[in-house]
Structure 1
Amino acid sequence: MTDQHRHDTRLDRFVDSYSQRTEGMRVSAVRALFSVANRPEIVSLAGGMPNIKDLPLHHIADSLAAMIETNGTKVMQYGSGQGEGVLREQIVHVMALEGITAHPDDITITAGSQQGLDLVTRIFCDPGDVVLAESPSYVGALGTFLSYQCEVVHVPTDEHGISPTALRETIDRLRAQGKRIKFLYTIPNYNNPSGVTQPWDRRLDVISVCESEGVLVVEDNPYGLLSLDADPIPAMRSADENVIYLGSFSKTFAPGFRVGWVLAPHAVREKLVLAQESATLCPPVFSQYAIADYLTNNDWRGQIDIFKDMYRARRDAMLLALAEEMPEGTTWTRPAGGFFVWVTLPEGLDTQAMLPRGVDARVAYVPGPAFYADGQGARNARLSFCFPPPDRIKTGVRRFADVVRRELEVMNTFGVSHSPTLSRPAPGPSANLT
């Protein structure tokens, strides 16, 4: 007699109970590489992990110990949903370095700028709403937008960032389709992953297009003070108080404290605080006081200069290695700050497909498609210069180039055509992004 009752084996017994929102969640390509990239024999050009070895750790340890001893019951207690006033006041001075005039009351402290981005998306976006993003864009932002069931539409870019003409055309096209656009997400300084910086005039043009079209601008600026060749360009927020600005101490101090902030118009700030309270009650209080203590008792501006000197040497080592090692037909950007170089390989190659060969060759990188919501970027790879020392960077680039050459040999052997045109980076802030 046949059993009328099915007893299917399921890996996840709760699969039918999850919300539709979970269908938009995806594994971060960067996080997925961590277990491999952390193996000592592998040179990791993948993660954007800051190098914090140059911090005055003994001084910080003594200062934090004194803070706990004298004020422990306060710094280890619950706090304000908006964040502690002492830190918000200091953040005003930090942002002033990029031309921003702000009031502490309009700042909301978050658990890193990533949570700030999550809160902004939560209060503005409904399922099906459109978020405009640079092409390419930060993988963590794309994951947030998709988790809230947004449609991400990439705006074409050039060597100066977002094209204002393409931005207006994209907005017009989406509006004609009946789509509702909620905001433009942009990293104007040393974009992650491309490393491209929007010049001041371009920033004003982008703001002008968004203002005329009624589209909010969300400016994410974790790398703004890490300019390697010149003074920082003023933030977009400095030109328009309606821009929502995301900041972070992860790159200019230490990421382990998980402290960022959102500067927003007053009405938006009220919604952010409510969203923050429902998510965490309050942002991490001890971390806030630890950073406030660091800003008070250390030469944090001088420390940023130390970071910049160190990152400049690593960036230059990567650019030199790329020029010496990469095969013809390869292009890359020349970032003026930040952590990343964006590489474009010859036609026909696929960085996602060749990643296992890269790991076998003991080098890790992030394939380009991770930075798009629509499948673009097959020929691209993000290489990070922030963590390995210069000699390891050179070794990693050499291994990466060897993998690319082998891929080209296989492609040529099997008769797959590609463009062999030599294209080295032109002088200036970046090379061709296509």
Structure 2
Amino acid sequence: MAKIITILTILLLNLTHSLSFSPENPTNRRILVLLDDFAIKSSHSLFFDSLRSRGYQLEFKLADDSQLALQRYGQFLYDGLIIFAPYIDRFGGSINQASVLEFVDSGRDLIVAVDVNSSDLIREIATECGVEFEDDPAAMAIDHTSYALSEFEGDHTLIASDDFIGSDVILGTKKIEAPVLFQGIGHSVNPSNSLVLQVLSASPSAYSANPMSKLSSAPTLTGPRISLVSVVQARNNARVLISGSLKLFSDRFLRSGVQKAGSSTRYDKSGNEQFVTELSKWIFHERGHLKAVNVRHHKAGQTDEPALYRITDDLEYSVEIYEWSGVSWEPYVANDVQVQFYMMSPYVLKTLSTDEKGLYYTSFKVPDAYGVFQFKIEYQRLGYTSLSLAKQIPVRHFRHNEFERFLTAAYPYYGSCFSMMVGFFAFALVHLYSK
């Protein structure tokens, strides 16, 4: 009986998994939300309601719940993970730092909210994703010129930031007019790491320090180097959001009006709701997720894909690229998709033309070199999942019976040979029969 129950459980898990995250439906649906306290469920309800309204199934659990698990029988139980538990020292159940990182390595997405005096566990998870924090856990982002006024007047740790990343695919096409309220810790990213992006940065006058103690030396983290919110897109296209503030997602900050110090413009509502909503759409693959299908190549004038090509053949190459809109696949339109005809190095590099309906195509002549080539597309663009396509094809030289019988360029040499023979024959006749 126990074996039957186990088998049924495995089948149910496989069925649930097949109906959720898949290449044909890349938007995450099952999300585990880990909390320090269930009070966060109500204090951050607007953010959670936004996710539910878009079809997400949220499961709330305390971070120290002894029944916690991210996978069972080799199958992941969730498609996304939200950790709103900055002070937890140790997760319950089978979840730990390694299992969270394995979750991301599997291609699934993660949101982590770090905060002042966060535990080493949460800071280490964020650090493993590519950001760096100051050694002082009480350090906060402070700004004496870009702080928020009104009901929060005088608190220079409450920053009103409008230094957003310039990417429509990450933050949406609609501009965020109002500044975003932020109160928490800043972090830095390695500029040489192209996988980590600063989405919300501090102003040039900001610095990171402990607000409860006097500065004894110059701050090590200052200005726009301070990232308030960062995102990571891993090489496996998993996406991670790292926020230095849990309050950033709170109902209080989402509903609050805001006026930036030094500005006469007051907004009735901060930009937090639009910011976290649009950012969560990108994190959970409602935008910027690409797929390539129907990769084809053939000789010019033909339709069937050959087993190999001959040098100097004319060929045509095409591929279809689509972007997930959160509901359906829409044609992706760009002018920077390139294909390489590659053997050790690219012999041919062509920018693909598009019909703006998803089809990309080009044509070129096979280079005068034989061996095993590849059609390669390595497409990486800010905010979009990367495309890596490769298809091998052999290229042969001319067979002995495929060369031209007489070459036009060689006619002078042919003439010299025949004239030499005629001259020799004439010389022999004259020499033999002359007296």
TM range (shorter): under 0.3
TM-score (norm 2): 0.23
The structure where strand makes up a greater share of residues is 2
Larger C-alpha radius of gyration, 1 or 2?
Answer: 2
The structure where helix makes up a greater share of residues is 1
Query: Which one scores higher on RCO, CA 8 angstroms, separation ≥ 6?
Result: 1
